[in-house]
Structure 1
């Protein structure tokens, strides 16, 4: 009888473990055991949302500062480059040769485009929380520094030959200040990426993706793919704009018209390439690879023409294929565009081979504001739910 009483009073081993587990759970959730019965699923959801918003608030503050630095830097560079461009136009008659004026104008136009493009990179990188794209932005700043150094040499030659007095001092000062602005922006934003934004992005990404190594690897490849698409956009458009400005003198020719039409189509095609990957549309991704291959063929054809007899058709050289102002910049952009397009094709093919591996669930919010993008996402979700039920 006493044994029976002791057994009824003393809790069993399983009950002890359950009590320990429940107390550990409520300690982890910051909820006292006395509130066990008051614990509600709605309270849990609200606390999780509040925690998520709190964890993102430091990132939002850092992102705003980062974007503000990009905007201020871009506006300063735009002001400097517009000033130099205005000075060149005011003293255009002293340059002596039209190709020389065209080369300097193209040089400055590309730099203005780069200033606007770095704001676009900053916005997309911060909005998508793509640290890799922001890191590529820092590499882009390094390229701008090199480009500014080349610009300083070219403009200094123009300044020494044409300008005098206050014009000469002001133009040299603006050139040096532009280099300083890019250098300061590079240092400050590099610190912000690795010292401020990185830890918050890693935590947000972990909550979004989880600990699955395969999904994390695919997400990293996807971020590289999207970053390459952004660089494809800049270098392809830069190459095309230089080609029509320097090479095609007849603005009413068929080649000029077709090249201008290519520019807006390029933007749509690059967006199409990214959309095909985010929605794991195999047929669209294959079409995207074909488009990228056509882009490689186009750039290669245009680059080869710079060294062949067809150069004489533009009346730029005394002999077919001889050097003309701006060819070095054109070839540089052409080679970089080819390398980037080939790398993009490789990653596109890799992602196609890894469709239906969990990446689509991570990217379900991409293009959700577009009507057909939202419907496609819903169809994917319903299809996955039906498969789970089956």
Structure 2
């Protein structure tokens, strides 16, 4: 009950932004599911034609259409991810996360435009390729156009509304942080770095696992059926195991140890995070080189895999220095502020005002 009252009862702006992102998620998921359905139908048609017609153009379009299904699913996951982050930002009164969500919202709006462009330009090339579109898929190629245009309008309008509501909450949360940490500018800077790193870990989770899922889908759905020889399948199995270890397992362990290291101020955990982040960076660079050297192998997924890899590398380049700054702030009193605030908030009691602490208390007061 306290959590519900904290989300809905703080102000009209917290209630408004929660309702806005939930409404956006519901509408976006509905229309994305419609687009996914139309695209699946198109993939089925192309699959039938690929089997009956030995045509490289059809095979190319089929690979592109099939890969798009993964990105439609990721877009749906991104909507749920946004709702969770907004609730978390309200709960934590995190202004940094609001700014990141502002960028993420416009990123999803841009994706809705790219999605429309990709699905409507699957058949590209000379007149023979265009004729294939008419002969084999007919109206199926353009059936989802109305849903994609509606999706673009929903995302752009909601991004504009989110900008306004996020600004209002930004003003409210700034005052909350002042009350929580006090007037000590050094401690407020430490808390700001703590917030930034926590926010980065959440986006690391989405984009790192987003890349991992895309690559897994590419190997299982596209490469495996096309691997007919035992040697090719053996090589694919080896690559699959490497990806599961270097991307999926390392990513999960890296983010978990970073979270617990930051929350508990464990330096060993933070050192381990830096080491695993460097290992992930090496793997991302290796994969990016593979995509550049063998573009035909990544047909239909090259653009988005490259995008996710670049975002992942940027996140590592930002997360590692921030983690080092947070590491240097360990054992300087910040954890007492955070743990004291959490304990006091959960019992709904006011904290001791500054200057009225008990003499045997080593914790700083926040309010």
TM-score range, shorter chain: 0.7 to 0.9
Separation in 2, partners of 1:250, 1:55? 49
**Alignment CA distance shift 1:56-1:79 (3 Å):** closer
Q: 2:251 aligns with which of 266, 274, 283?
A: 266
Residue 144 of structure 2: SS of its match in structure 1?
helix
Taking structure 1 as the reference length, the TM-score comes to 0.70
Shift of 1:263: 3.4
Judge conservation of contact 1:278–1:364 (CA < 8 Å) in 2.
Answer: no
Match runs of 1:285-324 below 5 Å: 285-308=270-293, 311=294, 317=296, 324=299
Pairing partner for 2:322 from 347, 351, 374: 347
CA 1:83 to 1:150, structure 2 compared with 1: closer, same or farther past 3 Å? same
Could you list the runs of 5+ residues in structure 1 that have no partner in the other structure?
1-53, 369-383
Alignment of 1:83-232 (within 5 A): 83-95=34-46, 96-97=58-59, 98-158=62-122, 161=133, 171-195=144-168, 197-232=169-204
- Please state if 1:253 is matched with 2:237: yes
1:299 & 1:267 partners in 2: Cα distance? 15
Shift in Å, 1:126: 1.6
Aligned residues: CA RMSD: 3.1
SS at match of 1:122: helix
- Mark the CA change 1:307 to 1:93 in structure 2 (over 3 Å): closer, same or farther: same
Number of residue pairs matched by the alignment: 308
1:241 is aligned, of 213, 222, 243, to 213
Q: Which has the larger radius of gyration?
A: 1
Among candidates 1, 14, 28, match of residue 63 of structure 1: 14
Report if aligned partners of 2:102, 2:162 keep a CA contact under 8 Å in 1.
yes
**Alignment correspondent of 1:43:** none
- CA gap of 1:203–1:323, structure 2 versus 1, over 3 A, is closer
Distance 1:332 1:324 in 2: 15
SS in 2 for 1:59: coil
The C-alpha deviation readout for 1:27-83, integer Å capped at 9, x for no partner, is xxxxxxxxxxxxxxxxxxxxxxxxxxx999863543232122112211211111111
Separation in structure 1 between the aligned mates of residue 342 and residue 255 of structure 2, nearest angstrom: 14
- The answer (yes or no) to whether the contact 1:59–1:201 under 8 Å persists in 2 is no
* TM-score, scaled relative to structure 2: 0.74
